Structure 1
Amino acid sequence: MAPPARSRRQGDPDAQIAPLAGYSVAVASERRKHVLAEHLAQAGARTIGVQASRSIPQIDQTRLRAATDEVLAGPCDELVVSSAFGLRSWFAAAGRWGLADALLARFGTARLLARDARAADSLREIGLSTVWSTAGACTEDLFRYLLAQPVAGSRIVVQTDTVSLREPCRALRAAGADVVEAPTFQSLRPAYAEHLRRLVDQIVNRQINAAALLGAPATEYLLAEAKAEGRLDDMLNALCDDVLCACLGAGTAAPLVAWGVHPIVGAAPFAEELAVALLEALPRTATRLEIGPHALELRGQAVVLDGRLIPMQAGPLAVLRALARQPGRVVSSAEIRRSIPNWSDVDDHAIEMAVSRLRRTLDGADLVHTVMKRGYRLAT
Structure 2
Amino acid sequence: MNSAQQLAGFRIAVTSDRRSNELIEALERRGAETAHTPLLRLAPLEDEQFLLGQTRRVIAERPSVLVVTTAYGLRRWFDTAEAAGLGDQLGRALEDCRIFTRGAKALGAVRALGLPVAGSAAAGTSQALLQLLHGEVQGAAVAVQMHADNDRPLARDIRALGAAHVLKIEPYRWMENSGDPHILTLLEGICAGRFDAVTFTSAPSVHTLLAAAASRGMLPTLIRSFNERVLAATVGPVTAEPLIQAGVRSPLVPQRHRMGAMVLQLVTALADQGTLSVDTSRGLCQLRGRTLSLNDEDCTLTPLHAEILRCLLQAGGNVVSRDELATSLSTLPSRHALDMTLSRLRKSLPDPQLITTVIKRGYRIA
Distance 1:293 1:199, change over 3 A: closer
Of 281, 290, 301, which aligns to 2:279?
290
| Equivalent residues, number | 318
**Alignment match of 1:143 (pick from 90, 104, 108):** 108
2:189 alignment partner in structure 1: 202
Match of 1:226 among 213, 228, 241: 213
If the length of structure 2 is used for normalisation, what is the TM-score? 0.72
How far is the alpha carbon of 1:351 from its aligned partner?
2.5
Shift of 1:65: 5.9
Task: State the SS of the aligned residue for 1:288.
Answer: strand
1:97-246 to 2 correspondences below 5 Å: 103-106=90-93, 143=108, 153-154=118-119, 181=145, 183-190=170-177, 192-246=179-233
Structure 1: give runs of 5+ residues left out of the alignment.
7-17, 111-138, 157-166
Q: 1:330 aligns with which of 316, 319, 323?
A: 319
Cα offset for 1:84? 8.1
Q: Are the aligned partners of 1:25 and 1:210 in contact in 2 as well (CA < 8 Å)?
A: yes
SS at the partner of 1:295? strand
TM-score by length of 1: 0.69
Match of 1:307 among 281, 296, 302: 296
Q: For the Cα contact (< 8 Å) 2:73–2:171, is it kept in 1?
A: no
Task: Show structure 1 runs of 4+ deviating over 4 A.
Answer: 62-71, 80-86, 91-95, 106-110, 139-142, 144-147, 167-180
Distance 2:131 2:295 in 1: 47
Preserved contact between residue 71 and residue 180 of structure 1 (Cα < 8 Å)? no
Correspondence for 1:247: 234
One-letter amino acid of the structure 2 residue matched with residue 184 of structure 1: P
Corresponding residue number in structure 1 for 2:265: 277
Measured at CA, do residues 202 and 23 of structure 1 come closer, stay the same or move farther in structure 2, by a change above 3 Å?
Answer: same
Q: Of residues 39, 46, 60 in structure 1, which corresponds to 2:33?
A: 46
Q: CA deviation at 1:293?
A: 5.8
Match of 1:267 in 2: 255
User: Deviations 1:304-341 (Å, cap 9, x if unpaired)?
Assistant: 22233311123332332222222333333223223434
In 1: Cα distance, 2:8 partner to 2:110 partner = 33
Aligned match of 1:89 in 75, 80, 85?
80
Does residue 361 of structure 2 align to residue 370 of structure 1?
no
Structure 1 residue 252 displacement after superposition: 1.2
**What residue is the counterpart of 1:128 in the other structure?**
none
Q: Distance in 2 between matches of 1:340 and 1:88?
A: 50
Q: CA deviation at 1:282?
A: 1.2
What is aligned with 2:154? none
Give the 3-state SS of the residue equivalent to 2:341 in structure 1.
helix
Greater RCO, CA 8 A, separation 6+: 1
Q: CA deviation at 1:274?
A: 0.5
Q: CA deviation at 1:66?
A: 6.8
- 1:222 Cα deviation after fit: 0.8
Q: Distance in 1 between matches of 2:120 and 2:320?
A: 63
* Cα displacement (A) at 1:292: 3.3
